[in-house]
Structure 1
Amino acid sequence: MSEKDNLQDADGNDILKKEAITQEERVTEDLNAPNEESTAAEATEIAETSASVDDANSSEETTPDTPETEGVVDTPISSGPESEIEKSISDEAPVKKKDTYVEEIEESNAEDAEDDSNVERHNLEDKDYHSMSMEQLADEFESLLKNKKVQTIKSPVEEIKTEFNSKFSEILEEKKEDFLSEGGNEIDFFYSSPLKKRFNSIYNDYRTNLNAYYKTLETNLKSNLEKRLRIIEDIKGLLNVEENINTTYKHFKDLQEEWRTAGPIPRDKYNNAWNTYHHHVEIFYDFLHLNRDLRDMDFKHNLDQKLKIIDRAEELAKDDNSNRAFRELQVLHKMWKEDLGPVDKEHREAIWERFSNATKTIHDKRQAYYADVDKAHEANLEKKQAIIAKIEEVAKDDVSSHQAWQNKIKVIEGLRTEFFNAGKVPIKMNEATWAKFKGAVRTFNKKKNTFYKSLKKDQYINLQKKLDLIKIAEDNKDNDDFETVTPLMKKIQNDWKHIGHVPRKDSDKIWKRFKAACNHYFDKVNAERNAADKEQLDAFESKTKLLDELKDLKLSGVAEQDLETIKQKTEEWNALGQVPQNKRFIEGKFNKSVDALFNNLKLDKSEVEMIKFENKLESLSQPDDTRLLDNEHHFIRKKIDEVRGELNQLENNLQFFSNIDESNPLVKDVLKNIENHKENLAVWEEKFKKLKELY
């Protein structure tokens, strides 16, 4: 927004349009001979305007990055006897000391005078860079460089740079402590990161663009200063020109307009140039002796414009955004001082008092706003001090386990995040607070690193233990004694899990060696097992076919011949080998088929039972697995115990029938039952005998 865009008249028309009316149009009225009264009044107002240039601005320091511009000629006001006009100035308009709030505005305007784009820096959003992460700071820097003028972002860039370097410095210290704790030499330490390289690249681009800007600015400032000095010389020259007064006045107004649009000049030359300009403007008005009508016309125009400025200032005094109001107020003061001339004497005090009161209101609201900001910063300081105290408390608590330290590390990370999100603190306390925070974190990190350094000894012991396991694994990885080596390999794998941490630099390397040796061995086991599985699947297919044949088998009816046939089929079945574990149901089907064939034989029941048992033992006998025989052993022992128990019970019951004749049906039944149990017991005992022969 330009200086004049803020002002509109009652009809909504821009003041800029009214100011576009040329000075020539204002002086097309008949110009009468000058009179002393108007001359004195005009000179008085010019002197008052000139006095508004704040001498304090001359003490502004030149920005280090801004090139110096040589020379300005300051034509002093004569120190000779007072003229009538000078006497009138001292009598009617004594120079008053400016109020502090006015001086503050004029100082800011003087700073902006060197570069009119500096106004844009006042409109930058105030952000809490302290709470941003390093990546967010880099993104914000890149956005400012891309979207804002390079000369307007110096302040936020310096704040971003400070915050980024502080955070990176903290990380750098931690990395260095870790490096040293692992036995590294300090002289060999180096750490960088892609984010740091990115930030440095953005900053280099910023410096390059800023240097290019100042190089261009230096040329423009010199050119503008030369232009303004030439305008002053042209105004001085009007006193010696012999031409119509109207023409001379028009030339004077053209030079004034050219002065207003001449552009920025070096900051340290600003006050000197303006004072020199106003001095020669006074001399020209003294020379011109404007008539009363033209004077009144100029006074009225200036009064109308200044009243509009006052109206706008009073509107701004009601604005709750004190910073925005103050920035626009600076523009209004600049217009009052630089763009407008004097008003009639009777209005001067009143309009200045209105403008000054509105200025004071805006200034006081702004001061109140900053007082509230200071209070918020004080509250943030208390928060951060409390967080630092918590970090110090956590650092005091001694723990002796890895898990406990990991928990403490998480707590510290949470407190660090709280610290960065707590907001800004008073500037005077910022450095001390940051130093205390870093000291607390550094104390914690030193204790943490001391603990983990003490663990290094245990880690080297663990390393040797794992190297011993690696040797066992590598020595046995090609061993074909799977029955012996497989349990061993499983055991050392389990031992590896319980040994504990080893130095970080060795961890991956030794794990890869151990894993490779174990994988090599178990790959061989799996290959062997897959081959065995294939044989068992082939056996299952063959037994399925044999089982189908057995269903269709017809016996001859000759017991001895049929018994031989059944034995051959049984031997053939056993010769086919084992089937997979999940296919062993086929053994039960075969036994049922054989039992059905035996039932058709005309043989003694006990003999048949033993033949069937012998066939069963053939199927239960596995070269590498005795579990089936063990189960059968337990089963037969249990049956023998059961039959013996039942037999004893029957014999005890028989004693109750001592006086009863054996021909009694009940007694006969008991005796027969006892005989059957004895025969059954004899068969189970024979089976047990056969089973023991296999062990």
Structure 2
Amino acid sequence: MLEEKNDNLSRNENETDGNVENNAVDTNQSPTDNLEQSASTEITEEPAEDNVVNPEESNSTDAVETKNQNAVDAIADSNAEESEDETLKERHAIPMQDYDTLSLEELVDELSNLVSNEKVLSAKDHIEEIKKSFLAKYNHLLEEKKEEFLAENQDPNEDFQYHSPLKTNFDKYYSIFRDAKNTHFKSLQTNLKSNLENRLAIVEELKELIDPQANIKDTLKHFNDLRDRWKNAGPIPKDKYNHVWNNFHFHVENFYDYLHLDREARDLDFKHNLEQKQKIVARVEELVNEADINKAFRELQDLHRIWKEDIGPVSREHRDDIWNKFSELTKQMHDKREVLFENQRGTEQENLEKKKEIIAQIEVLATEKVNAHSQWLAQIEKVEALRTAFFSAGKVPSDVNEETWSAFKTAVRNFNSFKNSFYKDIKKDQNDNLSKKTALVAKAKELQESTDFATTTPIMKQIQEEWKQIGHVPRKYSDKIWKEFKDACNHYFEKLKEQKNEENSEEVEAFDNKKTYLETLREFQLIGEHKADLDAIKLHIETWKNFGKVPFPRRHIEGKFNKILDALFEKLNLSKKDTEMMRFSNRMDHLSESNDTRKLDNEKIFIMRKIEEVQNEIFQLENNIQFFTNTRNAKKENSIVLEVRKNIAIHKETLTVWKEKLKQLRNLNVE
């Protein structure tokens, strides 16, 4: 960093080392003539670039290569614009996004963020890009909505209308930005005019400094005061920028070179200025190797502005060398930036090819005929995916941007027209569906007050199933007819629910009775006589059944009852088969009383599978026995054969139990 006077690295700009007009100095005139001619030069417009030279190059543009000068001029153009409004310098702090890749919602959010948190001119370019992307996408959406409306509405008296909260929010935030921008520019114009008059007055005072009779110390003090006033004079119109700066620098050069200044003071100032410019050159040498080219180029603009605006001239012996170094490094930076731009253009070309391919795919979909709503939904989903890919593909070269966007809109519009023609053809089907659903609504309303729940409930459920099987109706009737049907069905089933709640009071009473009886049963003891004890247990079971069903959420009490029975059966020493069958019988009776036909059917299927499994197992074991008994040398059955026969007997006993269960279950279904 430069630490001496005039050391300010925070500005942005680059231009030749104190440019001066060619027609401002005539080498055949005397110094005084030169000053008088410059003083009489009227500041009306910015001189042409070809007439701008560097006074440190001894009035010769030939000393600077054309390529170097082009790089310097590129920076000068940007600095001239930013000189008019210093807030433009801050725009670099906000990264420019590829707004074409954002959705409408994301664009509105980004606009809101910029308007709320950034200065007007800092966000100006970003907001205009957001506006362009938003309106392009919104207008495209509007066209699609209008096409859908026209496809579904044949009434010529019905006007198309579409309102989007996103558009409302966008207009609100953009209006805030536009008002702030107008206010800013109105204030800016007033300041620019005042600052220009102030700077012209400073130039006039600078002309008057050349007075050989004046005290040199007073003159130097006045000169330094003018330079300080110049630095703080504020921005001026960009079309006056170079001209006014050139005149100012011309008179500063004359002050140094043609007046009889104190040589020692002048040399010290030359030395200081040279050191400042050498530091700038050293910094630019570092910037040439900076990885972030855009960041480095912005700093180079700062250094050019400091070189031109804040640092005075150097001695003639160093002017050419120091300027040539600076301009050559500027060219290197400029070339690196051009390579970056070239790479970006290559990426844009790749994006163009991607978007062309996407457009081609949409064009193909606009010709693929499908004949079912579900198939069209799949086609629509494909197009939506392609639309998203198109918007996410990134920027394309600006010269083909409008053409590419137009081709995309045309492809999507053709697809929508093709799709809408299908839905026009199925309009008749939708009207037929409307008639069918209207009839179901009438039927549901007719039955909604019925109290014959046993008869009406299956009919209402059947009506609901029929409703599901009927296809779409015209959208304008869809919500209304669905509400009528839903209200009628809900009204009936609410009445059914109330009726069931009344019945549930009996189940609650049964639960209370069983809960009380369960406590009594816990105290029951067997007396040791098998038949009497078995009869007592059967009586308990019969009593329990007579209490009736309990509410569904409280069926756990049945499990507690079964646990007590299991314990009693254990003490009774019944055979395994008898115990198993009594438990099974009790459980099946419970399912039968609860009318749980689904569980009864599942139980039947389970038992049939178990019978089949046991039979297969017996068959396999009997085959194994055949293998051993047919062996020639087998004189007697060994332990393996005996074990197999034992397993066959066990499986046959098990099979008998399963068959008995199936028989009992079938008898239960018959009853």
What interval of TM-score do these two structures reach, taking the shorter chain for normalisation? 0.5 to 0.7
Q: What is the Cα-based RMSD across aligned positions, in Å?
A: 3.8
**Alpha-carbon distance between aligned partners in 2 of 1:492 and 1:196, rounded to the nearest angstrom:** 43
**Paired residues for 1:4-43 under 5 Å:** 7-8=1-2, 14-16=3-5
**Paired residues for 1:223-234 under 5 Å:** 223-234=194-205
Structure 1 residues 477 and 304: alpha-carbon distance in aligned structure 2, compared to 1, 3 A threshold: closer
**Alpha-carbon distance between aligned partners in 2 of 1:365 and 1:80, rounded to the nearest angstrom:** 38
- CA shift at 1:92, angstroms? 5.4
Deviation digits for residues 537-587 of structure 1 (CA, Å, limit 9, x no counterpart): 999999xxxxxxxxxxxxxxxxxxxxxxxxxxxxxxxxxxx996899xxxx
**Alpha-carbon distance between aligned partners in 2 of 1:79 and 1:93, rounded to the nearest angstrom:** 10
**Paired residues for 1:619-638 under 5 Å:** none
From 302, 310, 319, the counterpart of 2:281: 310
Gaps of 5+ in 1: 1-6, 9-13, 21-47, 56-75, 543-577, 584-695
Q: Does the alignment pair 1:126 with 2:96?
A: yes
Q: Does the alignment pair 1:331 with 2:308?
A: no
Q: Does the alignment pair 1:509 with 2:480?
A: yes
Gaps of 5+ in 2: 10-15, 36-54, 514-545, 552-671
Amino acid at match of 1:373: Q
From 413, 416, 426, the counterpart of 1:455: 426
**Alpha-carbon distance between aligned partners in 2 of 1:329 and 1:540, rounded to the nearest angstrom:** 90
- Which position in structure 2 is the counterpart of 1:238? 209
Structure 1 residues 158 and 529: alpha-carbon distance in aligned structure 2, compared to 1, 3 A threshold: closer
From 210, 213, 221, the counterpart of 2:192: 221
- Which position in structure 2 is the counterpart of 1:167? 137
Amino acid at match of 2:82: D
Deviation digits for residues 619-646 of structure 1 (CA, Å, limit 9, x no counterpart): xxxxxxxxxxxxxxxxxxxxxxxxxxxx
**Paired residues for 1:462-481 under 5 Å:** 462-479=433-450
Q: Does the alignment pair 1:499 with 2:446?
A: no
Deviation digits for residues 77-101 of structure 1 (CA, Å, limit 9, x no counterpart): 4889622688999995434365211
Deviation digits for residues 466-489 of structure 1 (CA, Å, limit 9, x no counterpart): 222222333344456666655544
- Which position in structure 2 is the counterpart of 1:152? 122
Aligned length: 496
Structure 1 residues 196 and 540: alpha-carbon distance in aligned structure 2, compared to 1, 3 A threshold: closer
Q: Does the 8 Å contact 1:129/1:163 carry over to 2? A: yes
- Which position in structure 2 is the counterpart of 1:83? 30
**Alpha-carbon distance between aligned partners in 2 of 1:144 and 1:489, rounded to the nearest angstrom:** 58
- Which position in structure 1 is the counterpart of 2:107? 137
SS of the residue corresponding to residue 366 of structure 2 reads: helix
- Which position in structure 2 is the counterpart of 1:205? 176
Q: Does the alignment pair 1:258 with 2:224?
A: no
Amino acid at match of 1:341: G
Deviation digits for residues 500-557 of structure 1 (CA, Å, limit 9, x no counterpart): 2111222222223233334444555666676678789999999xxxxxxxxxxxxxxx
**Alpha-carbon distance between aligned partners in 2 of 1:507 and 1:304, rounded to the nearest angstrom:** 82
Q: Does the alignment pair 1:421 with 2:387?
A: no
- Which position in structure 1 is the counterpart of 2:626? none
Deviation digits for residues 190-213 of structure 1 (CA, Å, limit 9, x no counterpart): 212222111111111111111121
Q: Does the 8 Å contact 1:473/1:489 carry over to 2? A: yes
Structure 1 residues 494 and 100: alpha-carbon distance in aligned structure 2, compared to 1, 3 A threshold: same
Q: Does the 8 Å contact 1:394/1:408 carry over to 2? A: yes
Q: Does the 8 Å contact 1:459/1:502 carry over to 2? A: yes
Structure 1 residues 336 and 486: alpha-carbon distance in aligned structure 2, compared to 1, 3 A threshold: closer
- CA shift at 1:126, angstroms? 2.4
Structure 1 residues 191 and 241: alpha-carbon distance in aligned structure 2, compared to 1, 3 A threshold: farther
- CA shift at 1:257, angstroms? 2.2
- Which position in structure 1 is the counterpart of 2:406? 435
Structure 1 residues 310 and 482: alpha-carbon distance in aligned structure 2, compared to 1, 3 A threshold: closer
Amino acid at match of 2:373: H
Q: Does the 8 Å contact 1:235/1:252 carry over to 2? A: yes
**Alpha-carbon distance between aligned partners in 2 of 1:142 and 1:226, rounded to the nearest angstrom:** 39
Amino acid at match of 1:509: K
- CA shift at 1:322, angstroms? 1.4
**Paired residues for 1:211-610 under 5 Å:** 211-239=182-210, 243-282=214-253, 284-285=255-256, 288-479=259-450, 485-522=456-493
Structure 1 residues 198 and 241: alpha-carbon distance in aligned structure 2, compared to 1, 3 A threshold: farther
**Paired residues for 1:670-681 under 5 Å:** none
Q: Does the 8 Å contact 2:212/2:259 carry over to 1? A: no
- CA shift at 1:159, angstroms? 0.6
**Alpha-carbon distance between aligned partners in 1 of 2:343 and 2:170, rounded to the nearest angstrom:** 34
Structure 1 residues 187 and 273: alpha-carbon distance in aligned structure 2, compared to 1, 3 A threshold: farther
Structure 1 residues 186 and 197: alpha-carbon distance in aligned structure 2, compared to 1, 3 A threshold: farther
Q: Does the 8 Å contact 2:6/2:310 carry over to 1? A: no
Amino acid at match of 2:70: T
Structure 1 residues 79 and 188: alpha-carbon distance in aligned structure 2, compared to 1, 3 A threshold: same
Amino acid at match of 2:114: L
Q: Does the 8 Å contact 1:49/1:341 carry over to 2? A: no
- CA shift at 1:132, angstroms? 0.9
**Alpha-carbon distance between aligned partners in 2 of 1:538 and 1:232, rounded to the nearest angstrom:** 109
- CA shift at 1:308, angstroms? 0.9
**Alpha-carbon distance between aligned partners in 2 of 1:501 and 1:419, rounded to the nearest angstrom:** 32
Deviation digits for residues 420-454 of structure 1 (CA, Å, limit 9, x no counterpart): 11111111122111111111111111222222222
**Paired residues for 1:171-210 under 5 Å:** 171-183=141-153, 185=156, 188-210=159-181
- Which position in structure 2 is the counterpart of 1:590? none
- CA shift at 1:400, angstroms? 0.8
- CA shift at 1:317, angstroms? 0.9
- Which position in structure 1 is the counterpart of 2:60? 94
**Alpha-carbon distance between aligned partners in 2 of 1:493 and 1:126, rounded to the nearest angstrom:** 56
**Alpha-carbon distance between aligned partners in 2 of 1:533 and 1:253, rounded to the nearest angstrom:** 103
Amino acid at match of 1:100: N
Q: Does the 8 Å contact 1:180/1:186 carry over to 2? A: no
Q: Does the 8 Å contact 2:56/2:320 carry over to 1? A: no
Deviation digits for residues 402-435 of structure 1 (CA, Å, limit 9, x no counterpart): 1111111111111111111111111112211111
Q: Does the 8 Å contact 1:537/1:579 carry over to 2? A: no
Amino acid at match of 2:30: S
**Alpha-carbon distance between aligned partners in 2 of 1:533 and 1:117, rounded to the nearest angstrom:** 78
Structure 1 residues 360 and 499: alpha-carbon distance in aligned structure 2, compared to 1, 3 A threshold: same
Q: Does the alignment pair 1:107 with 2:77?
A: yes
**Alpha-carbon distance between aligned partners in 1 of 2:199 and 2:289, rounded to the nearest angstrom:** 38
Q: Does the 8 Å contact 2:57/2:320 carry over to 1? A: no
- CA shift at 1:499, angstroms? 2.1
Structure 1 residues 378 and 212: alpha-carbon distance in aligned structure 2, compared to 1, 3 A threshold: same
Amino acid at match of 2:60: P
Amino acid at match of 1:94: S
